[in-house]
Structure 1
Amino acid sequence: MSKGLFLARSFYRAGHKVIGLDFERSYIPSSGRFSNTLSWHYELPNPVTNQQKMEYIAQLVEIIERDRIDLWVCVSGVSTTVTDALAKSEIEARTSCKVFLFQPETCETLHEKNLFIHKAASIGLDIPETTTIRSHEEALAFLKGKKPEHYILKSIWLDDVSRGDMTLYPRPNFEETTVLIMSLSISTDKPWIFQEFIRGDEYCTHAVIVKGRITAFVACPSSDLLMYYEPADLEISQRLLEFTRIYINSLEDGYITGQVSFDIMVKRGVEANAEPILYPIECNPRTHTAVVLFRNISGALADSYLDSLKDFGKEVCIPDPTTTDSLYWTGHDVVTLLLLPLLNLSGILGGLREFTLHFFFWRDATFEFWDPLPFLFLYHVYWPGLFLRSLLTGRRWSRVNVSTGRVFEY
């Protein structure tokens, strides 16, 4: 993941010893393990089953004790956040290491879309209309008589097939609505939510929080598959910062430590002086890729995490939008701006123009001259290896997120 690599580089450049912990999938190592910033790298079992989760936590404790680690900053994936939160209790009970992560109950509240929205409503924040459904019949009953194309449908749990599906419900034709609903895996064990579709500007945030105090914060314009990172302007950034403060103050008696990222729709009024309305739509209780926007002030970012060990008492660290580099991923641009236009014989000049702009005036989020191996491994081994695996196994995929190293499979 780009975010894990960036944090490793930030701590390294601030003068700290950095050890990498990861679990490998498909026998293809992550590119970050080859970074010059890591003193050592450990592979851990992928915690899927209960037995694997126990082994994962036990190995974490063993490594932390053996290497005398002071601080574990969790850069969890979607599927392991709660497991890492459970490990936090064991680690802090048996070692002197501090774990930069929320309590398991807090992670669950923030991670599950319905619980997150209910919490926001309970503290008086504006929310999109949200309804949990647990059967096809319940879904169809909810949609009867509703305004056409007013809701989107999301799985509460991780679901690569439906992720990114922006179909609006109900469809103009109720037969079409029924066919689409019946094709989804909706059950008591796999609930979904209908959420009011808010038309506005989407933003994502990343906040570092120590004992209830935000020590680092960044916001940027967002989209369903965000591959270009630029900081939001100061005015909207301050509004999103205040939203974050209000929400986190309602968690763990306001004495919370960890990382959180919000996806928020900003609906602006028709009148020029109208106050924008912020609608939270999702939350991730973990590191967001937007952390790469601290590139020009990585030392201050490292200090914002270390506040959990020693209270520096500094002001919240926020990247200056006038001096922060805009970031892109070369692999994504090569495919979307060069190869696809050539294959489609459409938009070739426009793609070439945008690629040139990014190449000369933006910064690649992975490449560093002083630490080149992760970039080289990413595009010469990691991605070719994943695509070769898909060809050999027949696994189908719908899209790729180069920034997170993730393939969305059918």
Structure 2
Amino acid sequence: MPSASASEAPRPPSRPASASPPGSPPSAPTSPPRPRATSASRPAPGAPRFADADADADAVASAPCSPRDKAAPAERDHLRHKSATANGHAGAIRRHVAGAPTTVQVRQVVAAPASARLGARRSPLAVRALCWVLHFLGHALCTAAYLVWSQLLLLWPAVWLSAWLYVLLWPWRLLLAWGWNRVRANRPTVLVSGGGSVQALHLARNLYSCGARVICVEVEGVFRLSRFSAAVRRFYTLPAPAASEDGVQRYVRALCDIVQKERCSLYVPVCSSTTAYYDAFAKPHLEMLGCTVFCPGVREVWLLDDVQEVLRRAEEAGLHVPLYYPVARRDDVLRLYESGVLAAGTHFMASAGALGCRDRVKLRLPAARAQFRMPYEMSPQRPWVVVQDLPGEHFLTCTTVRDAVVLANVTCRVLDSGELVPVDHRAVDQWLTAFFSRLRVLRQFSGHVSFRFVVSEASGALVVLGSRVGVSLPYICHDSAHARLLWRPCRRHQQLQQQQGASASAAAVAAGRYWLPDALLQTLRAQPSLRAVRRLLGTVLDKREALFAAWDPLPYCAYYHLQLPTRRVVNLLRNAPPLQGCPLPPTH
């Protein structure tokens, strides 16, 4: 058989133009398929496929021009130049890779490490450290801003609510101010001290609701909370009685000037910023001006403000008292530590005597002798008393006494968190009645007294821990009827006392109170549950907020947004921890 010529040698089957070599990425979809290449235009088997690119460029260059191309000859010249450039580059690439497979070059490029390509772009270490610090500071600022905003988110709604209520009520006050003041012109004027305390604010509101004209006073350097109240007609400041040697005289003289100027008929000392010791000295001077002082005299204050004297009188009356030890020197306290008396249980030490009633200081004693510190003077002229604080439920009272007879009383149970919960405790009422009935004093006295009790876990007996003269914090659970008992005796209350055997709680309505920030924080700290939300709603619906009143909203804003933040900032700047006192909360 004759042999075939070279031009007629069998060719290997050519791969379609749309197929791609194995391992290469799939090509993107192209325009409509081109005509199948003939044998004259098909490339050789081993040559790279660059002829298609040349054909495409020639086709683009020789394609009929559209109307837009006719109007733009510069674009046609650009296409011809691009086609010639592509042909030149294609020829150069064909000459360069004629003796080596194309895949080798591709593998070399792929195998090149990324660090070699990015090594020149890597930033220095100092720049990266600076960027990290700036990033960290940005996150810290964002976190701080979030914490601040989360706090404001809880408080600002109350601010806006109080502000709008004040704005809405202000026109009515302007319309009724003239006529209301004319009606109240002949009403009695009541002077209330301690205008920076919560209980003084409630006392002023209750007296105002009963028709009295209220004037509030406070010593210098104390926040003037009652000044923001609509119930207070005027507000005065007094010099601090303990600021100088003649401080007591200046304090009494300032009180007399205010009583003469405002024609006050009743003075009710709250004794929150100053002790009843100074108001007792001012009592005879104010009574000479025709102003009744609802406060005991000097001798009665020395009795009721001295913890040691109260425990001694209660013990003489046959009432339960804790173990107490009078001390006059530091060595006396150290001997109690050596004997093991202070090692078991909890003890506190309170100032005693006449000067102790003026200072009214209370400290908690540590269990170890090495931790005992005495920052105050201790001498026979300034004695102290160590009292055992029994474990059990603690109670705090606000007792109103007129002519040495219990007129009204509110008893609150003190929780571990310091919250006061009003309760109806018959044993406390009976103890108060028995104590004042057996108390022998030179003259009958009137005033507010706060007693502290504990129900012993071991014996279950009601034990008194001490007392102080003044309006205590449980007073906020009194209703407005109690204010009438101070300056206008109530016949209805006298009838109830006769019917119920002079019950101490006859005129007191122990309505529950709550502090809105504390209720919100307790709900947020608890695990998110439907029960916590129900408890919060029940508290808001069943109880009244301790400071908020729709007709008097400004004190609420002033207390939570001015007084408390300022007090915390001042304590932080002073960098001095508060003195540890009795586990019972303060009564002011």
Q: Distance in 2 between matches of 1:398 and 1:226?
A: 16
Tell me what 1:137 maps to. 331
Tell me what 1:9 maps to. 205
Given residue 380 of structure 1, which amino acid in structure 2 is its aligned partner? H
SS of equivalent to 1:246: helix
Residues 10-29 of structure 1: pairs in structure 2 closer than 5 A: 10-25=206-221, 29=223
Q: CA deviation at 1:185?
A: 4.6
Mapped pair 1:327 → 2:327: no
Tell me what 1:256 maps to. 445
Given residue 318 of structure 1, which amino acid in structure 2 is its aligned partner? S
Q: Distance in 2 between matches of 1:56 and 1:184?
A: 27
SS of equivalent to 1:119: helix
Q: Distance in 1 between matches of 2:245 and 2:491?
A: 35
Given residue 258 of structure 2, which amino acid in structure 1 is its aligned partner? I
Mapped pair 1:43 → 2:237: yes
Once the two structures are superposed, residues 346-398 of structure 1 have per-residue CA deviations (whole angstroms, 9 ceiling, x without a partner) of 76769777555433432211110111010011112222222333445545557
Q: Does structure 2 retain, via aligned residues, the 8 Å contact 1:207–1:218? A: yes
Query: Pick from 291, 296, 315: which aligns with 1:97?
Result: 291
Q: CA deviation at 1:101?
A: 0.3
Q: Distance in 1 between matches of 2:404 and 2:413?
A: 25
Q: CA deviation at 1:97?
A: 0.7
Once the two structures are superposed, residues 266-286 of structure 1 have per-residue CA deviations (whole angstroms, 9 ceiling, x without a partner) of 23677xxxxx52211010111
Q: CA deviation at 1:320?
A: 8.6
CA pair 311-328 structure 1, distance change in 2 beyond 3 A: closer
SS of equivalent to 2:272: coil
Gaps of 5+ in 1: 172-176, 271-275
Q: Distance in 2 between matches of 1:41 and 1:72?
A: 14
Q: CA deviation at 1:124?
A: 2.4
CA pair 115-382 structure 1, distance change in 2 beyond 3 A: same
Q: Distance in 2 between matches of 1:178 and 1:351?
A: 44
Q: Distance in 1 between matches of 2:267 and 2:340?
A: 48
Q: CA deviation at 1:112?
A: 2.0
CA pair 246-330 structure 1, distance change in 2 beyond 3 A: same
Tell me what 1:366 maps to. 547
SS of equivalent to 1:218: strand
Q: Distance in 2 between matches of 1:65 and 1:15?
A: 21
Given residue 60 of structure 1, which amino acid in structure 2 is its aligned partner? L
**Higher mean C-alpha displacement, 113-122 vs 34-43:** 113-122
TM-score, normalising length: structure 2: 0.57
Q: CA deviation at 1:255?
A: 2.0
Tell me what 2:461 maps to. 277
Q: How many residues align?
A: 373
- Structure of higher CA gyration radius: 2
Q: Does structure 1 retain, via aligned residues, the 8 Å contact 2:392–2:454? A: yes
Q: Distance in 2 between matches of 1:103 and 1:311?
A: 29
SS of equivalent to 2:372: helix
Query: Pick from 271, 280, 295: which aligns with 1:76?
Result: 271
Q: Does structure 2 retain, via aligned residues, the 8 Å contact 1:136–1:182? A: no
CA pair 95-200 structure 1, distance change in 2 beyond 3 A: same
Given residue 389 of structure 1, which amino acid in structure 2 is its aligned partner? V
Q: Distance in 2 between matches of 1:318 and 1:230?
A: 12
Query: Pick from 344, 348, 353: which aligns with 1:149?
Result: 344
Q: Does structure 1 retain, via aligned residues, the 8 Å contact 2:454–2:462? A: yes
Residues 207-286 of structure 1: pairs in structure 2 closer than 5 A: 207-223=399-415, 226-232=418-424, 236-237=425-426, 239-249=427-437, 250-253=439-442, 255-267=444-456, 276-286=460-470
Tell me what 1:386 maps to. 567
Q: Distance in 1 between matches of 2:520 and 2:440?
A: 43
Q: Distance in 1 between matches of 2:506 and 2:471?
A: 16
Given residue 210 of structure 1, which amino acid in structure 2 is its aligned partner? R
**Higher relative contact order at CA 8 Å, sep ≥6: structure 1 or structure 2?**
1
Residues 152-167 of structure 1: pairs in structure 2 closer than 5 A: 152-156=347-351, 163=363, 165=364, 167=366
SS of equivalent to 2:465: strand
* Bigger helix share: 2
Q: Distance in 2 between matches of 1:98 and 1:36?
A: 24
SS of equivalent to 1:202: strand
Q: CA deviation at 1:119?
A: 2.1
Q: CA deviation at 1:190?
A: 5.4
Mapped pair 1:201 → 2:390: no
* Bigger strand share: 1
TM-align CA RMSD: 3.4
Q: Does structure 1 retain, via aligned residues, the 8 Å contact 2:484–2:490? A: no
Given residue 280 of structure 1, which amino acid in structure 2 is its aligned partner? V
Q: Does structure 2 retain, via aligned residues, the 8 Å contact 1:228–1:326? A: no
SS of equivalent to 2:464: strand
Q: 4+ residue runs of structure 1 moved beyond 4 angstroms? A: 157-160, 182-186, 307-312, 346-357, 391-399, 403-406
Q: Does structure 2 retain, via aligned residues, the 8 Å contact 1:200–1:267? A: yes
Tell me what 2:371 maps to. 180
Once the two structures are superposed, residues 142-162 of structure 1 have per-residue CA deviations (whole angstroms, 9 ceiling, x without a partner) of 2434464135032325587x6
Once the two structures are superposed, residues 191-247 of structure 1 have per-residue CA deviations (whole angstroms, 9 ceiling, x without a partner) of 443223323322122211111222211212125773333223xxx33x212211222
CA pair 359-88 structure 1, distance change in 2 beyond 3 A: same
**Higher mean C-alpha displacement, 8-17 vs 177-186:** 177-186
CA pair 404-261 structure 1, distance change in 2 beyond 3 A: closer
SS of equivalent to 1:387: helix
Q: Distance in 2 between matches of 1:125 and 1:325?
A: 29
Given residue 396 of structure 2, which amino acid in structure 1 is its aligned partner? C
Tell me what 1:118 maps to. 312
Gaps of 5+ in 2: 1-196
Tell me what 2:556 maps to. 375
Q: Distance in 1 between matches of 2:431 and 2:234?
A: 38
CA pair 357-228 structure 1, distance change in 2 beyond 3 A: farther
SS of equivalent to 2:271: coil
SS of equivalent to 2:470: coil
Q: Distance in 2 between matches of 1:278 and 1:386?
A: 36
